[in-house]
Amino acid sequence: MVPSGLANKKWFYPTLWLLIVIVFLGTEYRKHSHMGTASTANSTDTLGNITSSIADTIKSIPDYYDLLTGTDKDAKKGNNTIQTADVSTSIKAAVIIETRRSAAIIPLVLHFSAVLGPDWPIIIYTSAENFGSFSTSEALLRQQTAGRVVVRALPDGLYFPNWDSVSNFLTTPWLWRDLAPAEHLLIFQGDSVLCSNSVRSVEDFFEWDLIGAPISPQWGAGYNGGLSLRRRSTMLRVLQEYDWTKIPHPRPEDQWYYFRFTDLMNKDIEETGESKIKLPSMEIARTFAVETIDYPSPLGLHQPTRWFPADRRMTSLDEWCPEYKLARTDRINE
């Protein structure tokens, strides 16, 4: 049985269109009847005018429907201007590397896709053996069919038993070359989220070559890489100039990159007086993401429940970023 509310809604627009046509026909009839019936020719002309007016009214009915319902005619025709993701041409991409099986990853990927928008491709790197875990969700399959989510295989035999293995991989050129042509890369891990309440977008930070949650001095320096925006060309330049295996400190990879970026900046300034590499201040970085240094309204969070008890936060996560509950709390071995 159809609820009465739905039934009433179903007949509302057809009834309204009929009333519009009746009112219009009545108006046309009264207008033309005042012209009299002096001759058969005049009567014929009057009938022709009324018929033409009726035809015009019928043609305009779809426009009335669009006006009343808010329907975009161009969208119905497939001519909407919303840009959709194309990983083969996009200058930006969000990237997660995950070889562990977990039911929590798919909701997290869908969350990032929703907050970033339809013009952001999301690339999942995983082991060939783990491909099947990303083909069981209808919601994720729709995103893959639309080209918004792409699953790629990591090199054969690559696994991440600890954080050193992650750093070893991220300090080789393979990933950064494979991500071409995207230049702006949002790297996110399973323990990070974006806050949909934020007035900022990831694009607002594209001017920086590297940005992430600022690291508290007691834990090191630079920006945390678990939720970070990186310029691909600068990452490759670092790897052309420096070899992680020969200079593996400081660790992990995010702090190593921060110091290598700084080294390149200083080298550029010494040689040419300026550097095209841009790194943000810690104040700007904490508006992008929060980890060990708090900020009331960041765009993103990394390990949101690890570093701050709820009563020590500037803003309640439940109020500012309820998505924090999507972030994983289990960790790879140190």
Q: Among 232, 238, 126, 265, which residue's Cα sits nearest to residue 171?
A: 238
CA 153 to mean position of chain CA atoms: 22
Q: Which amino acid is at 308?
A: F
The C-alpha atoms of residue 228 and residue 237 are separated, in whole angstroms, by 18
Rounded alpha-carbon distances, angstroms, from residue 174 to 13, 98, 154, 232, 235:
58, 16, 10, 12, 11
Is residue 161 reached through a cis peptide bond, with omega within 30 degrees of 0 on the bond before it? no
pLDDT at position 233 is 98
pLDDT at position 69 is 44
pLDDT tens digits, 158-216? 989 888 999 999 999 999 999 999 999 999 999 999 999 999 999 999 999 999 999 99
Please tell me the pTM assigned to this model.
Answer: 0.76
Cβ atoms 95, 192 nearer than 8 A: no
334 pLDDT band, cuts 50/70/90, is low
Which residues sit opposite 150 in a β-bridge?
Answer: 123
pLDDT tens digits, 266-319? 999 999 999 999 999 999 999 999 999 999 999 999 999 988 877 778 888 999
Annotation: CATH topology of 92-326: Spore Coat Polysaccharide Biosynthesis Protein SpsA; Chain A (3.90.550)
Is the pLDDT at 44 greater than 80, yes or no?
no
Rounded to the nearest integer, the mean pLDDT of the chain is 84
pLDDT at position 21 is 60
pLDDT at position 10 is 56
Domain edges within the chain: 4-76, 92-326
CA dihedral 124, 125, 131, 133 (to 10 degrees): -50
The C-alpha atoms of residue 259 and residue 240 are separated, in whole angstroms, by 15
- Residue 224 tokens read as 């945390």
